[in-house]
């Protein structure tokens, strides 16, 4: 009889908890399922107004930082960084370290022991123990240094103010999904809204250093050689022409379609009304329509520290196919867009560009994806 009573009590407890959870969190939006899980397991009170809430709540007597943007909880973690310190450290890095430090306080948060999670994600401690990170919760007087080694791994170090002693040194992969806390599916699903909410700022033309320009044969075109990505034909080259005063302007003319497309795709200075009609190829081979102005896409990529590289795949009379790579070195991913444009649209500076987009592609997969695109 007692056993039956305990089972009934357990079931009722689950039902009551579910009702309480839905009442408290049902109307709150979370940027990721990981953040929702943290809110669930810590049972903290979440603010409803936008802002950075430093040491606003506690879990296990440890202070927490909570961030709300546009009515969405974008961060929950231990308060390792003050609000002023956050001005000098990349927000994703701050959030990753604070979020992971909080998860370490929750047994089997990741479904495995925390030490196994660190090992699985290739997060290494070279100096100190993980618990040392909690030293920073009550000591805002430290030097924090973050650096990337070979565009592959982050090294984070905490020093004493005199820089003579290190509290802790952590290394981890420059992996966007690990650092952001977004799964591939979550990142892809957020992309359209993230682009839409980007400030569509105008870019100011910066005249190039004329000593770096190379004239192309006897043509009126001057080349400013950029960086190469993967293949020599995939680069950030830009092309200029000189006016009667000797000033160099970006080339954009239907008479030089290839050079004009390089300039169009690698910057935001050229005024245009082009619209990208893309098929966003998502995880699990799901395909969504993705329609955005070209300029808005380029501005979004620039504001998220993605470097543009462009290359020509094929050129026919009525169509040019190109590859546009937006490479984020800091977080190890690329947006890869294969696009098709009618060169006659260069004269009007408006029209539709057809495209196929793969977003947040890990660096290890980009070469394979590019090879596949060349075969199509």
| pLDDT tens digits for range 334-343 | 999 999 999 9
What is the reported pLDDT for 65?
A: 96
Q: Position of tokens 């005063």? A: 245
pLDDT > 50? residue 11: no
Secondary structure of 338-354 as H, E, C letters: EEEECCCHHHHCEEEEE
Highest mean pLDDT among 34-43, 138-147, 155-164, 243-252: 34-43
Count of all residues that appear for the chain in the document: 376
pLDDT > 50? residue 27: yes
Task: Name the token pair of 100.
Answer: 């992971």
Q: How far apart are CA 263 and CA 344, in angstroms?
A: 16
The whole-chain average pLDDT of the chain stands at 88
What's the whole-number mean pLDDT along residues 136-145?
81
pLDDT > 60? residue 372: no
Task: Name the token pair of 102.
Answer: 């909080």
225-235 per-position pLDDT tens digit: 999 998 899 99
Out of 3.30.9, 3.10.450, 1.10.3470, 3.30.420, the CATH code matching 184-201+252-375 is 3.10.450
pLDDT > 60? residue 21: no
pLDDT > 70? residue 143: yes
Q: How far apart are CA 4 and CA 185, in angstroms?
A: 42
Q: What backbone phi and psi angles, to 5 degrees, belong to 327?
A: -105, 120
Q: Minimal CA–CA distance to 53: which of 37, 30, 73, 32?
A: 73
What is the reported pLDDT for 373?
A: 53
Q: How far apart are CA 323 and CA 309, in angstroms?
A: 8
Q: How far apart are CA 356 and CA 340, in angstroms?
A: 9
What's the whole-number mean pLDDT along residues 281-306?
93
> In the chain, which residues fall in CATH 3.10.450?
184-201+252-375
Own/partner pairs, 254-259, CB within 8 angstroms, 24+ separation = 254/343, 254/344, 254/346, 254/347, 256/221, 257/315, 257/320, 257/343, 257/346, 258/312, 258/315, 258/320, 259/221
Q: What is the largest CA-CA distance in the chain?
A: 98
Own/partner pairs, 196-202, CB within 8 angstroms, 24+ separation = 196/292, 196/296, 197/70, 198/296, 198/299, 198/300, 198/303, 199/299, 199/303, 200/295, 200/296, 200/299, 201/299, 202/268
For residues 85, 86, 90, 92, the Cα torsion angle rounded to the nearest 10 degrees is 130
What is the reported pLDDT for 138?
A: 72
């Amino acid at each position: 009889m007692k056993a039956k009573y305990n089972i009934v009590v357990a079931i009722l407890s689950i039902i009551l908890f579910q009702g309480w959870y839905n009442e408290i969190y049902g109307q709150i939006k979370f940027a990721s399922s990981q953040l929702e899980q943290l809110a669930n397991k810590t049972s903290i009170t979440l603010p409803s107004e936008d802002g950075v809430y430093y040491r606003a709540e506690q879990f296990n007597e440890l202070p927490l930082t909570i961030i709300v943007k546009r009515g969405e909880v974008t961060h929950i973690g231990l308060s390792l960084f003050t609000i002023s310190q956050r001005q000098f450290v990349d927000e994703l890095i701050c959030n990753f370290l604070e979020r992971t430090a909080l998860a370490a306080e929750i047994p089997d948060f990741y479904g495995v022991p925390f030490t196994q999670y660190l090992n699985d994600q290739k997060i290494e401690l070279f100096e100190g123990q993980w618990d040392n990170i909690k030293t920073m919760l009550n000591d805002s007087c430290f030097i924090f240094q973050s650096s990337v080694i070979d565009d592959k791994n982050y090294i984070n170090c905490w020093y004493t103010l005199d820089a003579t002693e290190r509290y802790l040194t952590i290394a981890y992969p420059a992996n966007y999904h690990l650092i952001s806390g977004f799964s591939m599916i979550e990142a892809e699903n957020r992309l359209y809204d993230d682009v839409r909410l980007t400030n569509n700022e105008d870019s100011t033309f910066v005249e190039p250093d004329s000593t770096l320009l190379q004239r192309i044969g006897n043509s009126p075109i001057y080349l400013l050689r950029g960086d190469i990505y993967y293949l020599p034909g995939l680069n950030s080259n830009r092309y200029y022409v000189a006016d009667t005063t000797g000033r160099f302007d970006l080339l954009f003319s239907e008479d030089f379609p290839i050079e004009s497309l390089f300039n169009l795709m690698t910057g935001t200075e050229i005024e245009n009304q082009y619209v990208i009609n893309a098929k966003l190829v998502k995880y699990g081979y799901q395909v969504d329509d993705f329609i955005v102005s070209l300029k808005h896409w380029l501005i979004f990529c620039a504001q998220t520290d993605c470097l543009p590289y462009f290359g020509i795949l094929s050129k026919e009379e009525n169509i040019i196919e190109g590859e546009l790579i937006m490479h984020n070195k800091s977080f190890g991913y690329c947006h890869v867009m294969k696009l098709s444009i009618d060169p006659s649209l260069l004269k009007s500076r408006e029209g539709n560009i057809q495209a196929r987009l793969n977003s947040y592609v890990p660096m290890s997969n980009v070469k394979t994806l590019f090879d596949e695109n060349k075969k199509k």
